[in-house]
Amino acid sequence: MKILCRKKVALDSRKDAIVIPIYKNIPSIRAITGKKIDDELRTILDSNYFNFEEKEIRSFYVELNKKLKKIYLVNTPKEVEYPEVYRELGAKIAGILNDDKIYSISLIAFEDIYNEKKSNASTSAFMEGIMFSLYSFDRYKTKKAHHTLEEVEIITNMTRLKSYIDANHAEWNDIFKYVNIAKDLVNTPPNDLTPAGFADYVVASAHPSLKVTVLDEHEIAERGMNLITAVGKGSGNPPRFVHIVYNGATDTTNNVAIVGKGVTFDSGGTNLKPSGSLERMKDDMSGAAAVFAVVNLIASQNLPVNINAYLPMVENTIGGKATRPGDIVKSFSGKTVEILNTDAEGRLILADALYMATQTDPEIIIDIATLTGACLVALGDQCAGLFSNRKFLSKNISDISSEVGEDLWELPLYENYAAKLKSKNADLQNMASGAKNAGAIIAALFLKEFVENYPWIHLDIAGTAFLEEKHPVFGNQASGFGVRLIYQFIKRYYVK
Residues designated catalytic: 273, 347
Rounded-to-integer distance, Cα 188 and Cα 448, Å: 31
492 phi and psi, to 5 degrees? -75, -40
Q: Outline where 217-326 has alpha helix (H).
A: 217-223, 226-232, 286-300
Angle, CA of 209, 215 and 221, to the nearest 5° = 155
Rounded-to-integer distance, Cα 238 and Cα 491, Å: 35
Measured between alpha carbons, how far is residue 444 from residues 317, 328, 388 in Å? Answer: 23, 20, 9
User: Amino acid letter at 35?
Assistant: K
Rounded-to-integer distance, Cα 132 and Cα 376, Å: 23
- The closest alpha carbon to 457, from 404, 413, 495, 405, belongs to 413
Rounded-to-integer distance, Cα 488 and Cα 473, Å: 18
Residues in the chain: 496
Q: What DSSP letter does each residue of 314-347 carry, written as one string?
A: EEE---TT---TTEEEE-TTS-EEEES-TT--HH
User: Amino acid letter at 129?
Assistant: G
